[in-house]
Structure 1
Amino acid sequence: MEVFTKSLAKRKFSLTDVIIIAVIFVILYAILKLSAGMNIPFTQGDRLEIDLSPLMLPYYAGRSLLRMFIAFFFSLLFTFIYGYVAAKVKAAGAIMIPVLDILQSIPVLGFLSATIIAFMAAFPNSLMGVECASIFAIFTGQAWNMTFSFYHSLITIPQDLEEAGQILHFNPWRRFISIELPISAIGLIWNGMMSFGGGWFFLAASEAISVLGEDIHLPGIGSYLAVAVESGNVQAMLYAMLAMLIMILLVDQLFWRPLVVWGQRFKLELSEAGEQPTSFVYDVLYKSYVMHWLYHHLLSPLGGFLNSNILKFFDGVESRSQKYLYVNKRNYLVEVCKIFIIIVVLYKLYAPAKEAALLLYNMGLQDLSQAFMLGIYTAGRVIAALFLGALWTIPVGVWIGLNPKLSAKLQPVIQIAASFPANMLFPFFTILFINYHVNFEYGSILLMMLGTQWYILFNVIAGTMSIPNDLLEATNIFELRGWKKWKTLILPGIFPYLVTGFITASGGAWNASIISEIVSWKEHTLTASGIGAYISEATIAGNWNEILVGITVMCILVVFINRFVWHKLYYMAQTKYHMD
């Protein structure tokens, strides 16, 4: 308490603190006002009108931003639970990681109508059901790469930290908050930034949705843009894009940039780099009397209360579990949990797997072989897209990660570029392909790259920023330059993050194959041979048999690649390329 009083005495209440208090109250009032509109009466058949007046843009932007942060909260919760179980229970992880790879690869927006019906049934006569479906759609664009990042951080924890946790007799919760969460902070922040960009990508599709032949436009910037496009109102489209640009910049400077600076405190190093990331907002909050007072009088006591109760819970579980140990130290409780998780996963997969198996059995061998061949074509494009994306994202990502000042300038730029819906650029590339007679079998690879290369870039930046400054100084002392420095330090240092970037980019590429292997411009339609075009054509024709076959083939190929490529690379990252 005395330390706190001295620390507080150094800070003086100023005009900045008055502004911070005003901003806090404005944010709380805005959340209450915006959330009130999410639970208004609504039944199927009701029509929500979207006003294209620019005066409505602040309200629509606020509604969209609220959905984004709610979805991000649940994505973070999903990340901690799913990633933790997958990393700690190896038997479950062997199933959960391929399943996660499948989930990120399958285009979830195709099933949005079904989720809307389910949520509307859960919240009858209320708009909350449609709101939940929209938030769920945004969630599907945010959760996967954060989960992969957290999983990779848990399986590559330095051995000396693991031993320290064992020596200090940390229970699972203490180990989580003292070792596992800090070690994963940098990767989580940058992948969270990429996830938020994925949320912007899905915003228009998640707010302007169709169910049972009826269009529902939720109040939001995505619906505003969709209505503007439908009505051909170019001015409103420009207003929407400008508003989205402003939102992305504000969120980056007020939320992500301070987090990037704060995350540097969790970097494993003995010496601090000469140049550190900076943030004006972070500096203001750090020096603020009000924030310091709130932290020590509200957040710290609340965190201490929750922490002590959770610690008591885990201590109780740990002491009770000692009664069930074998002589060979095997824990019954852990084994039962493993078996239970495996049974639940297998049970959930049984029905769709059985249906897919019967469908495959009833189809002709020629149709099946054709579908698998198309899947192999798409797999080749996915690999090519990853390779071409890596050619520029790895050197540029390392360049940004090693230069904090450059990172501060380029972070908003790459955030905007990653958030911009890549499919809006498809018509322009289609015109170029038609005019210059580009073979679309290869041109579709470029379309696939547009939305997936950012996953690699963000992870390379995170991996580079996590390299200890001690090792960077050592390379300078030994005068390692060029390829020697890359081979000795940079590539091994970013390797685990690079694997995560490749996996999430691969999932994005499979997902994007649905729209990148078949494109149209006026009377011209370009089609590439692949499982993505196969599923798109089957969807247009309403052929559910071919849709299920296409998705099944995609799942089989994704599992195959996960098992024989990503699994081996994760093992290399865990055993060879991580800091100890």
Structure 2
Amino acid sequence: MSFKTDSAAPRATPVAARTATRRPRMSWADMVVAAAVLVLLYVTLRVGQGTTVSFTPDQAAHVDTDPSRLPYDAARSLLRMFAALAASTVFTFVYAYAAAKSRRLERILIPALDILQSVPVLGFLTVAVTGFLALFPGSMLGLECAAIFAIFTSQAWNMTFGFYSSLTSLPRELDELSRSFGFTRWMRFWKVELPAGAIGMVWNGMMSFGGGWFFLVASEAISVNNQNYALPGVGSYAGAAIADGDLGKVGWAVLAMAVMVIGVNFLFWRPLTAWAERFKNEQSGASEVQKSLVLDLLRRSHWPQLTGRVLRPAGRALNRAGRVLGVDDRPLAVDRKRQRTGDIAFAVVAGALILWGLADLAGYLNARTGLGVFGEPLLLGLVTLARVVVLVAVATVIWVPIGVKIGFSPKLTRIAQPVVQVLASFPANFLFPLAVWFFLKTGLSIDVGGILLMALGAQWYILFNTIAGAMAIPTDLREAMDDLGVRGWQRWKRLIIPGIFPAYVTGGITASGGAWNASIVAEIVTFGGTTLTATGLGAYIAQATEAGDFPRLLAGVAVMSVYVVALNRLVWRRLYRLAESRYSL
């Protein structure tokens, strides 16, 4: 039996057939994602229009506390938060990479990061408001930039410390293997270094986002030099409601905050944490993984492939540029004597600049108040230091075991993640009415109760970094420990502590800095006409900021920086070196 073919019918070539099968068809998932993107762009444009309007000082101090304004205020707050997160991410990649790849820059950038972390948000706001208002006179954009900058300062340092730690603890074998394949610097960063730090980067970003929420009231309702400024947002709304003593409106602000945090977690952070699990360094897949409805929807659609096709030429261009500029990036022979001379010259110039700045600051303070202005904040700093030490010790004992438990269980992570995110994002100011009532009812001194309020903004750094460290421990090692029957303290000693130690150090150093920062809003509690003030450096800085007393403010910020840097140098930086040398998977 034979078959005849119709010679008139066109034949599909193999290439054409493959092209036809590859052509994506529009699905319901594509339409849902496209509609969501269009709505997001529309809302961003509508809300963004309010950031460039003109204002007068009287208008800038007014806050409308009508509950019907909360949806718009929430959108304005979210826009600031994500703008600050984008700036923090770019800063993290550039700053952490430069510090990790250059020993000479590391000697300057890491101590500078310690100092930047120690400067409180109010300290940055004092300079930022004046500078941005001068840059955009009469425009709301100046206040918006100042608020975004303040939120940025509450996010960037934690993310930078975390990514720097992942870069410095990267296994040498991976770096040598990428060099042997001829990877450019860009290829090594994109293919090796960024995936190695992806889990920690996501969880630190989540924690930093929560830190931004914590200081939202201070960022949106600004009081500098006896001048009040306020931006539309949930933070300023809550600040005005607290000042009026209106519990009903405070409740509306709390509800709006909870809805925003849960919504952002579901739409943004849950998909990111589920996606980041692909970067775990392991040879066998985990039996249970995190899931996200939003991530599943994106994977069903063709938008990731289309986005990849659009960005692929840019990636190829960066690779070619890396090869042209960096050749093969292999280490070159170095003249040690010449390098040592350059290091000495660099240290002399940097030291001279620092000494000149300190001398100028001392001259300014001596002319205004005398150098005795440092005496009071130095003594008050000892009191706040005691609170910080107690907070970090107690948070370590409580949250490290809980963080390990959550990080080892994807099912528990799905349940705990939104709860922890809500708790970490809750500004202490929102609890001032409850705190005032509790302290007055129980007779608990604010000097002790201030530790609890400081913990609201600091303890979560330890929890989030511990979760990230536990999630990064390869499933192979955990299964091997199970097969060998290693349990209890031996399991902690041989697997868990070495596995989470680099992440814990990052959490500890940022929790310590966060506690100093949180002391400014935790050592003075106000609700309605009642104000409770604790003895400490945070209350000293807050009072100097509100009064516009720049000499006392500078002295307080300088003393806080000294305490934080000394603590980092004596304790945390040594633990960092230990993590780099002994504990890296």
TM-score (norm 1): 0.88
Cα 1:310/1:284, change in 2 over 3 Å: same
Say if 2:165 is the partner of 1:159.
Answer: no
Counterpart of 1:300 (choices 281, 284, 308) is 308
Partners of 2:197 and 2:478 lie apart in 1 by 21
Equivalenced residue count is: 569
Displacement of 1:205: 2.3
Contact 1:200/1:420 (8 A) holds in 2: yes
Q: Distance between the aligned counterparts of 2:365 and 2:53, measured in 1? A: 46
SS in 1 for 2:215: helix
| 8 Å CA contact retained: 2:243, 2:526 | no
Aligned counterpart in structure 2 of residue 527 of structure 1, from 527, 534, 537: 534
2:189 to 145, 156, 176: 176
Give the deviation of 1:539 after TM superposition. Answer: 5.0
**In 2, Cα distance between equivalents of 1:391 and 1:4:** 59
1:167-206 paired onto structure 2 within 5 Å: 167-206=180-219
1:268 is paired with a residue whose SS is coil
Deviations 1:512-560 (A, max 9, x none): 23343455686674533x4334444555666544433333222222222
Q: How does 1:219-234 map to 2 (within 5 A)?
A: 219-234=232-247
Aligned to 1:243: 256
1:127/1:347 CA distance change after superposition, 3 Å: farther
- CA drift of 1:50 comes to 4.7
Would the aligned equivalents of 1:356 and 1:552 in 2 still touch at CA under 8 Å? no
Residue 498 of structure 2 is aligned to residue 492 of structure 1? yes
Work out whether residues 208 and 216 of structure 1, in 8 Å CA contact, stay in contact via their aligned partners in 2.
Answer: yes
**Structure 2 residue 410 is matched with structure 1 residue 404:** yes
Say whether residues 1:353 and 2:358 are aligned partners.
yes
Letter in 1 for 2:558: T
Alignment correspondent of 1:150: 163
* SS of alignment partner, residue 216 of structure 1: strand
Deviations 1:111-151, CA, capped at 9 Å, x for gaps: 42431221122123422111111111111111111011000
List alignment gaps of at least 5 residues for structure 2. Answer: 1-14
For 2:393 and 2:512, locate their aligned partners in 1 and report how far apart those are by CA, in whole Å.
11
Mapped partners of 2:156, 2:21: distance in 1: 39
Q: CA deviation at 1:43?
A: 4.8
Partner Cα distance (1:568, 1:46) in 2: 50
Q: Which residue of 2 aligns with 1:108?
A: 121
The alignment partner of 1:274 has SS state of: coil
1:5–1:228 Cα change, 3 Å: farther
| d(CA) in 1 for partners of 2:461, 2:328 | 43
Query: Structure 2 vs 1, CA of residues 67 and 351 (structure 1 numbering), >3 Å: closer, same or farther?
Result: farther
Deviations 1:418-465 (A, max 9, x none): 000124335544554455454655443333223210010000000000
Residue 153 of structure 1 deviates from its aligned partner by 0.4
SS at match of 2:288: coil
Q: Cα 1:211–1:432, aligned 2, differ >3 Å: closer, same or farther?
A: closer
**Equivalent residues in 2 for 1:396-475 (5 A)?**
396-426=402-432, 428-429=434-435, 431-438=437-444, 441-475=447-481
State how 1:226-305 maps to structure 2 within 5 Å.
226-288=239-301, 292=302, 294-297=303-306, 299-305=307-313
Shift in alpha-carbon separation, 1:187–1:46, aligned structure 2, 3 A: same
Q: Could you tell me whether the CA contact under 8 Å between 1:183 and 1:266 is conserved in 2?
A: yes
Q: Which amino acid aligns with 1:86?
A: A
The equivalent position to 2:386 in structure 1, one of 377, 380, 400, is 380
- Between the aligned residues of both structures, percent identity stands at 45
Offset, 1:249: 0.9
Moved more, 360-369 or 530-539: 360-369
Deviations 1:459-504 (A, max 9, x none): 0000000000000001001001111111110111000000000000
Equivalent pair of 1:91/1:342 in contact (CA under 8 Å) = no
Secondary structure at the aligned position of 2:415 is classed as helix
What is the distance in 2 between the residues matched to 1:435 and 1:133?
Answer: 38
Summarize deviations over 1:7-37 as a string: whole Å, max 9, x none: 857x764333322222121111112222222
Taking the aligned partners of 1:28 and 1:347, their CA distance within structure 2 comes to 49
Cα deviation 1:168-205 (Å, max 9, x = unaligned): 12222111111111111000100111111111122222
Match of 2:9 in 1: none
Question: In 2, are the aligned partners of 1:463 and 1:494 still within 8 Å (CA)?
Answer: yes
Measured in 2, the distance between the counterparts of 1:551 and 1:379 equals: 14
Between the aligned partners of 2:125 and 2:408, the Cα distance in structure 1 is 41
What are the within-5 Å matches in structure 2 for residues 33-52 of structure 1? 33-47=46-60, 50-52=63-65
Radius of gyration: which is bigger?
Answer: 2
The separation in 1 between residues aligned to 2:299 and 2:515, in whole angstroms, is: 41
> TM-score if structure 2 supplies the norm length?
0.87
Q: Which amino acid aligns with 2:397?
A: L
Contact 1:154 1:180 in 2 (8 A): yes
Shift of 1:96: 1.8
Shift of 1:272: 1.1
Partner SS for 1:84: helix
CA RMSD of aligned residues (A): 3.3
Deviates more, 1:54-63 or 1:207-216: 207-216
Deviates more, 1:195-204 or 1:501-510: 195-204
Could you say which residue in structure 2 is the equivalent of 1:87?
100
